[in-house]
Amino acid sequence: MSQMLRVDHAGEYGAARIYAGQLAVLRRSDAAPVLREMQTQEQQHLDRFADLIAQRRVRPTAMLPLWHLAGFALGAATAALGERAAMACTVAVEEAIDAHYADQIAALDDHEAELRSTLVRFRDDELQHRDIALQHGAEQAPGYRLLSAMIKTGCRLAIRISERV
């Protein structure tokens, strides 16, 4: 349980930082309102996990300072490549998170019904983010497949590290 909450807190922390990085570059673009909307939801997810780890006395990952920088850098770098690359980043991240939340939801029994319904709700939000990003031309980003594969690999690695460290 500690690992589960630690990694989810870390992931939502990273997600909020990715959008902060994207908005630093794209704050005047057409994509800004939609990025802000997604960022607000990530902040709500993060706040929820921050409460949960405090309530259950779970130590946050020691990697938070790194995710602070890496999340922002990933967001800013993809945004610098253009709006569609920023959206491609969102699709890749959300697909990795979708699989991760699906695994967690399947692993929780009725003793954790409340947490499970929270994860179901957040997963729905993440899938909505993916769909929004697809509607904004994610797949038309230059080098989409490579970019997507690299980001997904990075996310999976970050997930494994944040569970343990």
Chain residues in the site for Fe ion (CB under 5 A) = 12, 15, 42, 45, 126, 129
Rounded distance, CA 15 to CA 122, Å?
12
Rounded distance, CA 30 to CA 36, Å?
11
Q: For Fe ion, which is the closer residue by CB, 33 or 110?
A: 33
Instruction: Judge residue 59's burial from the number of C-beta atoms within 10 Å of its C-beta, 0-12 exposed, 13-18 middle, 19 or more buried.
Output: exposed
Least Cβ distance, residue 152 to Fe ion (angstroms): 14
Least Cβ distance, residue 97 to Fe ion (angstroms): 7
Least Cβ distance, residue 38 to Fe ion (angstroms): 6
Least Cβ distance, residue 124 to Fe ion (angstroms): 10
Q: For Fe ion, which is the closer residue by CB, 12 or 83?
A: 12
Q: For Fe ion, which is the closer residue by CB, 22 or 144?
A: 22
Count of positions (residues) in the chain: 165
Q: For Fe ion, which is the closer residue by CB, 83 or 126?
A: 126
Q: What share of the chain is helix, strand, coil (3-state, %, to 5)?
A: 85, 0, 15
Cβ-based neighbours of 6, under 8 Å, separated by 6 or more: 53, 58, 59, 60, 61, 162, 163
Q: Which residue is nearest to Fe ion (CB)?
A: 45
